[in-house]
Amino acid sequence: MLYPLFFKPISKERLWGGRKLMDFLNKPFHGNEIGESWELSAVSGDESVVSDGPLQGKKINELIEIYKADLVGKSVYERFGNDFPVLIKYIDAQKDLSVQLHPHDHLAKERHNSFGKNEMWYIMDADPGSQLIAGFSKDTDQNEYQQYLQNGQIEDLLHYESVKRGDTFFIRTGTVHAIGAGILLAEIQQTSDVTYRIFDWNRTGQDGNTRELHTELALDAIDFAKRDDHKVVYTAEPNKRNLMVESPYFTTEIIAVRGEMSIQTAQLDSFVVLMAVHGDTEISVDRNTYQLPFGSTVLLPACLTEFTIQANHSEVLMVTI
C-alpha cells in the first residue's frame, strides 16, 4: 500500500553555499558551504531514499520499477518509463553562482544521454539588494557574445533582476542565468545535472584553481534572444490552486493555505510533489495525518486520489506532470 513518501535530503557542498539550509530550513547537514538540498532525485548516484514508513530505505527508482503507474501515473509512466522526470531542490546562494545555461532535450540526449534542463525558481528568502541573472539585456548573436566574453565584459551583456520572497522565474533551456548572493529558493527542474558554465566571476576554488568553463560546448546551446518572460506573473488566492508554470516538463501551482482545503487529484493522472515554501502545513490522506514543516517535501503517489491540507498561514508549491 502506497502512502505519502518523505525522502532523506541529499546535501551538496558548493563553494558558493552557506548555512541557510540548516539554520533556516532545519536540514540535518553539517558544514558552512552547503549550497543544495536535493529533496527528490533520480539522478544516477544520487537517488533519493525513503526516510520512514514500510518503504523506508527504498530508492525512488526501485519504487517506480515496483509500483509503476500506481506511483507516477499511467500517462507519466507511458512517457518516461522507469525514469523519474523531475529533480526537486532547495538552494542557498551565500555567494553568486556562476553564469551558466543548460542544453535542450535533443542536445542533452545526443551529448550526455540526459534530459535537458528547463527549471523553475521560487524565491523563499532574499537578503536586501539580492539579484539574479536571467538572459541577456538585449538581443545578441554568437559573434557579439564571444567578443564580450573575450574582452572580459560579459557582465555588461546580462540582464539582472532584483528579487524578493514570492518572486518566481521559469528558466528555459539555453537561457544564461545565475542565482545571486543572498537568495534562498526552491527549484523544480527536469531530471538532469548537465550544466554549461560560461563565466565564474574569475574566482578560484579551495585548490587555488579556477573552475572549468564550457565555452565551446555552450555556443550552440545558447538562446541569444532577449526575452521578457522569465519572471512568472501569478496570483496566490487563498485556498485555491493558483497556476504558476505550465510546461511540457512539469506544472507548478501555489496554494496559500488558510485553514483546511481538500484537493482531488484523480483527473491529474500524475504523482504530486508538495514543497513547503512558507510556514508549516499538515496533510491528511486516508485518515492518516502527516506533518509538512517549512522547508520539507513530500511525494504523493498517483494512486492517492484525494488529500487535505491544513494550516493557519502557509504556502505550498504543488508540482505535477
What the chain holds in terms of domains, given with CATH numbers, is 10-219 (2.60.120.10), 242-320 (2.60.120.10)
* Cell (9 digits) for 8: 532523506
Is 197 catalytic? The answer is yes
Q: How far apart are CA 274 and CA 295, in angstroms?
A: 10
- Active-site residue identified among 111, 165, 197, 287: 197
Alpha carbon of residue 114 to chain centroid: 17
Look up the pTM and report it: 0.94
* The amino acid at 104: H
Beta strands in the chain (DSSP E): 10-18, 34-40, 86-93, 99-101, 119-126, 131-136, 158-162, 168-171, 177-178, 183-190, 196-199, 242-246, 251-264, 272-278, 281-285, 288-292, 297-300, 306-320
Cα–Cα distance measured from residue 189 to residue 170, given in angstroms and rounded to the nearest whole number: 10
Query: Tens-of-pLDDT digits for all 321 residues of the chain?
Result: 899 999 999 999 999 999 999 999 999 999 999 999 999 999 999 999 999 999 999 999 999 999 999 999 999 999 999 999 999 999 999 999 999 999 988 888 888 888 889 999 999 999 999 999 999 999 999 999 999 999 989 999 999 999 999 999 999 999 999 999 999 999 999 998 889 999 998 887 667 777 888 989 899 999 999 999 999 999 999 999 999 999 999 999 999 999 999 999 999 999 999 999 999 999 999 999 999 999 999 999 999 999 999 999 999 999 999
Query: Can you tell me whether residue 63 is helix, strand or coil?
Result: helix
Contact yes or no for 154/147 (Cβ under 8 A) = no
Counting every residue, how long is the chain?
Answer: 321
* Alpha-carbon distance values, 236 to 12, 19, 170, 257, 313 (Å): 31, 29, 17, 10, 13
